Amino acid sequence: MKYVSEYRDKESALKYTGLIKKLVTREWSIMEVCGGQTHTIVKYGIDQLLPDSVTLIHGPGCPVCVTPIELIDQAISIAGLENVILCSFGDMLRVPGSCSDLLGVKASGGDVRMVYSPIDAIAIAAGNPEKEIVFFAVGFETTAPVTAAAVLQAEHLGLDNFSMLVSHVLVPPAIEVVLSGEDCAIQGFLAAGHVCTVMGYTEYEPIAEKYGVPIVVTGFEPLDILEGIHMCLKQLEEGRTDVENQYLRSVSREGNRTAIEIMRRVFEITDRKWRGIGRIPGSGLRLRERFARFDAGKKYEVSSHEVDEPEICISGEVLRGNKKPLECAAFGNVCTPEHPLGAPMVSAEGACAAYYRYRLARGK
């Protein structure tokens, strides 16, 4: 398939790893921010192809993983209400709240539906005027434009039976939290290609300068990641700390202004709690006042209280890149994709799920 298969070419990948070996003269640690990249890395064994002196640290870039447990509990309460159809992306339905998950609500008779896009939830709302449709909106800047487009469609169609529980998060403030950590070992970053496809990368320039780290905007295929790693290592070896763009076919410095405009029209920036990490100022999106009637948090007064995670789950450490999934005592025994204790074991972008799926299966 065009734009996909050619970026999985084995020979070019091996050339890249050979060149990386020639390039590095000392130990370096690089964080790939996005969980989608983590999956490519673990799936294709890219980390195992690199010289021992290069460590890849997996980042917090998994929106499902960082959605606060209180919001999941809120979604579970709303899904249990009579007359409500709750819709969200597949992974979100399996993430454990404090005592259940959304699929549990479905099993006990609730109407919980998996959708591919928030626009599907709009269609469900239009087709079921006697029901209340609630979309549980999670995602990074990549997903925010389509969520915003759904709100605008709901307004355009005059749907008053549609609302959303918004848990959108933004990447740059999380990178800053990781970098300001006390013993942060990260020397360079691969930034998430699809987040930057929308936003561009001007926001990363002051971060690279302030913390003295190179940042390379990187795509998702094996060759993209190998090139991104090579570019990042080259900067490190040369003592540069620039923002560079590996994912040229999709990303421009300014991003997609039309998509950004759609997103800004509907959302404004707010503080947000990240599961496993804590409250990060300016790291979330919420509906603007003009769209308050689509805010499920306001429409349904369900209470939620602070809850603790299962003690054994070290997902906070995993999300901050301090620990690898294999260092968790529960990994693969008490905690599995069938019975996840923490969100990183559920999501298609969670590091624990990636290790379980690709590493345990291969016996490595």
Partner 1 sequence: MCLGVPGRIEEISENDDPLFVTGKVNFGGVLREVILAGIKDAKIGDWVIVHAGFALNKLNEEEASEVFDYLRQISEFGRIELEEADGISGCAEEVEID
Interacting positions 206-265 with partner 1 (CB under 8 A): 220, 222-224, 227, 230-231, 246, 248-251, 256, 258-259, 262
Interacting positions 129-148 with partner 1 (CB under 8 A): 138-140, 142-143, 145-146
Pick from 49, 54, 75, 354 the residue near partner 1 by CB under 8 A: 49
Q: Select the span of 56-64, 207-215, 281-289, 292-300 touching partner 1 (CB under 8 A).
A: 56-64
76/265 Cα distance (integer angstroms): 29
HEC states along 204-225?
Answer: HHHHHHHHCCCEEEECCCHHHH
Residue type for 328, please? C
Residue 305 binding target from ligand SF4, partner 1, none, CB below 5 to 8 Å by type: none
Q: Select the span of 24-32, 173-181, 293-301, 335-343 touching ligand SF4 (CB under 6 A).
A: 335-343
Instruction: At 101, list the tokens.
Output: 């998950």
145/156 Cα distance (integer angstroms): 16
Instruction: Provide, rounded to whole angstroms, the least separation between the CB of residue 281 and partner 1.
Output: 23
Residue 44 binding target from partner 1, ligand SF4, none, CB below 5 to 8 Å by type: partner 1
Residue 282 binding target from partner 1, ligand SF4, none, CB below 5 to 8 Å by type: none
Q: Select the span of 59-67, 172-180, 281-289, 306-314 touching partner 1 (CB under 8 A).
A: 59-67
Residue 336 binding target from ligand SF4, partner 1, none, CB below 5 to 8 Å by type: none
Pick from 318, 347, 354, 359 the residue near ligand SF4 by CB under 6 A: 318
Neighbour tally for 1: CB within 10 Å = 5
Pick from 165, 314, 320, 321 the residue near ligand SF4 by CB under 6 A: 314
Contact call for residue 280 and partner 1 (CB under 8 A): no
The C-alpha angle with vertex 191 and arms to 222 and 316, in degrees rounded to 5, equals 100
Interacting positions 286-325 with partner 1 (CB under 8 A): none
132/151 Cα distance (integer angstroms): 15
Contact call for residue 225 and ligand SF4 (CB under 6 A): no
Contact call for residue 61 and partner 1 (CB under 8 A): yes
CA atoms within 13 A on the CB side of 193: 17
The beta strands (E) that lie in the chain are given as 28-34, 54-61, 84-88, 111-114, 132-139, 162-169, 188-192, 215-218, 243-245, 267-274, 278-287
Instruction: At 240, list the tokens.
Output: 């540069």
Backbone φ and ψ of 32, nearest 5°: -90, 125
Report CA Rg, the chain.
Answer: 21
Instruction: At 76, list the tokens.
Output: 């579970």
Pick from 26, 82, 109, 116 the residue near partner 1 by CB under 8 A: 116
Interacting positions 8-47 with ligand SF4 (CB under 6 A): none
Instruction: Provide, rounded to whole angstroms, the least separation between the CB of residue 58 and ligand SF4.
Output: 11
> Which residue number, 34 or 207, has a Cβ lying nearer to partner 1?
34
Contact call for residue 117 and partner 1 (CB under 8 A): yes
Residue type for 54, please? V
Please answer whether residues 274 and 169 qualify as being in contact, where contact means their C-beta atoms are separated by less than 8 angstroms: yes
Which residues of this chain interact with ligand SF4, rule CB under 6 A? 312-315, 318, 325, 328, 330-331, 335, 341-342, 344-345, 352
